Structure 1
Amino acid sequence: MDSTGTQAYAKLLENGVQAIEEVNRLRSSGYTREDLYVISHDEDREGRIVDAADTNEVGLSEEGLFGAIANLFRSRGDALRFKITSLGFSAAEAAFYEKELDTGKVLVIAKRNPQ
């Protein structure tokens, strides 16, 4: 499932190599580092891909202070769904993507941040 609405774009990929390739494709189409996010169920894997692809991390500016603090106490699945919804996706979309992340896939999201 790919989401290509005007608010945000998301694509599920099988591995980190494909995720980096997708990030590079999106960069060549005009997205910047600040517009691109990589999410994986495994935090270490996510960190390695984020570093290798030089993308933004979902953080305080996307989640808000209370969301970021709450994520410290949420399960990884709950935190991932919250991160995905904080980037403009519905709860149903977030649940779908998180379930796919459970199978080892990687999610690349492109969202133009307001200027």
Structure 2
Amino acid sequence: MAVRGGETERIRKTALHALSQLRAWGFEPLNLVPVGHGIVERIAEEIRREDLLPTEEKNDSLIITESALLECRILLSGDAHLRGVDFQRLTLLLKDFDVAAPVIATPREIVRKFFR
């Protein structure tokens, strides 16, 4: 996390400021302790092992896993790796863990599809 391990003091201070402002900005920070961090790591690793994401995209696999475990139905992202995940294969993989896959789209795609 950039708060503790940021490359520079400026990055650490910026991360700490952002973290302290999350609620004021309308975000609700979540902790996956009730679900268990172990299951998050396990599913994320399986996503990479099945080549749904490149091995080096650990954070992206964690984002998908955490979103699924939190029962998010839509994951908005401009990240090319996330958007490139094969939804059918992801759905089948997550089904083995009794979790539904979120639809991954850009904010622009959602606006174009539903608000034009």
Q: Same fold (TM over 0.5)?
A: no
Structure with greater Cα Rg = 2
Per chain length, whose mean CA-contact separation is higher, i.e. which structure has more relative contact order (CA < 8 Å, sep 6+)?
1
TM-score calculated relative to the size of structure 1 = 0.28
